[in-house]
Amino acid sequence: MANKNLMDAFDVKEERTVAREIDDYDIFKDKELLDNLRNTIISNIIDDKVPNNKLLHEYINDEIDKAIEGYDLTNLERSHIFNLIDNEINGYGPITELLDDPNITEIMVNGKNEIYVEIDGQISKDDSVSFINDEHIIRTVQKIVQPLGRTIDSANPMVDARLEDGSRLNAVIPPLSLKGPVVTIRKFRKDMESIDDFLRTGSMTPYMARFLQAAIKARLNVIICGGTGAGKTTLLNALSSFISVDERVITIEDAAELRLHQPHVISLETRTVNYDGTGEVTIRDLVINSLRMRPDRIIVGEVRGKEAFDMLQAMNTGHDGSLTTMHANGPIDALNRLETLVLMSGMEIPINAVREYIENAIDLVVNISRLSDGRRKITSICEVDGFDKDMIKLKEIFTFDQKGITSNGEVDGSFDLKKRMPKVYEKIKSRGITDLDDIFKFKK
CATH number reported for the structural domain that contains residue 150 in this entry? 3.30.450.90
Residue 56 has pLDDT above 80, yes or no: no
Q: Which of 28-37, 80-89, 158-167 has the lowest mean pLDDT?
A: 28-37
Could you read off the pLDDT of 214-270 as tens digits, one per residue? 999 999 999 999 998 899 999 999 999 999 999 999 999 887 778 888 999 999 988
**Residues 54 and 129 grouped into a single domain:** no
Residue 439 lies inside a defined structural domain of this protein: no
**Residues 251 and 109 grouped into a single domain:** no
Residue 438 lies inside a defined structural domain of this protein: no
Residue 443 lies inside a defined structural domain of this protein: no
Domain of 320 in residue numbering reads as: 195-430
Residue 414 lies inside a defined structural domain of this protein: yes
Q: Which amino acid is at 135?
A: E
Most confident of 197-206, 255-264, 343-352: 197-206
Picking from 72, 95, 90, the residue whose alpha carbon sits closest to that of residue 15 is 90
CA distances (Å), origin 356, targets 316, 343, 359, 392: 11, 13, 5, 8
**Residues 298 and 170 grouped into a single domain:** no
More confident residue, 151 or 203: 203
pLDDT at residue 29 in the model: 63
Could you read off the pLDDT of 85-115 as tens digits, one per residue? 778 877 888 999 999 998 899 999 999 999 9
**Residues 267 and 380 grouped into a single domain:** yes
Residue ending a domain, choose from 148, 166, 188 = 188
**Residues 13 and 81 grouped into a single domain:** yes
Distance of alpha carbon 95 from alpha carbon 99, whole angstroms: 6
**Residues 235 and 266 grouped into a single domain:** yes
**Residues 148 and 86 grouped into a single domain:** no
DSSP 249-278: EEEEESS------SSSEEEEE-B---TTS-
pLDDT at residue 21 in the model: 44
Residue 100 lies inside a defined structural domain of this protein: yes
Q: How many helices (H) and strands (E) does the chain have?
A: 15, 15
Instruction: Tell me what the mean pLDDT of segment 57-71 comes to.
Output: 74
pLDDT at residue 11 in the model: 40
**Residues 275 and 338 grouped into a single domain:** yes
**Residues 83 and 160 grouped into a single domain:** no
Instruction: Say how many residues make up the chain.
Output: 444
Residue ending a domain, choose from 158, 188, 218 = 188
pLDDT band at residue 340, thresholds of 50, 70 and 90?
A: very high
Residue ending a domain, choose from 143, 171, 188 = 188
Q: Which of 9-23, 117-131, 142-156 has the lowest mean pLDDT?
A: 9-23
Own/partner contacts of 25-34, CB < 8 Å, gap of 24 or more, are: 25/80, 25/127, 25/128, 26/128, 27/76, 28/77, 28/80, 33/71, 34/77, 34/80, 34/81
Residue 267 lies inside a defined structural domain of this protein: yes
Distance of alpha carbon 383 from alpha carbon 362, whole angstroms: 8
Residue 444 lies inside a defined structural domain of this protein: no
pLDDT at residue 12 in the model: 37
Residue 440 lies inside a defined structural domain of this protein: no
Residue 208 belongs to a domain with what CATH number?
A: 3.40.50.300
**Residues 313 and 202 grouped into a single domain:** yes
**Residues 287 and 333 grouped into a single domain:** yes
- Domain count for the chain: 3
**Residues 238 and 114 grouped into a single domain:** no
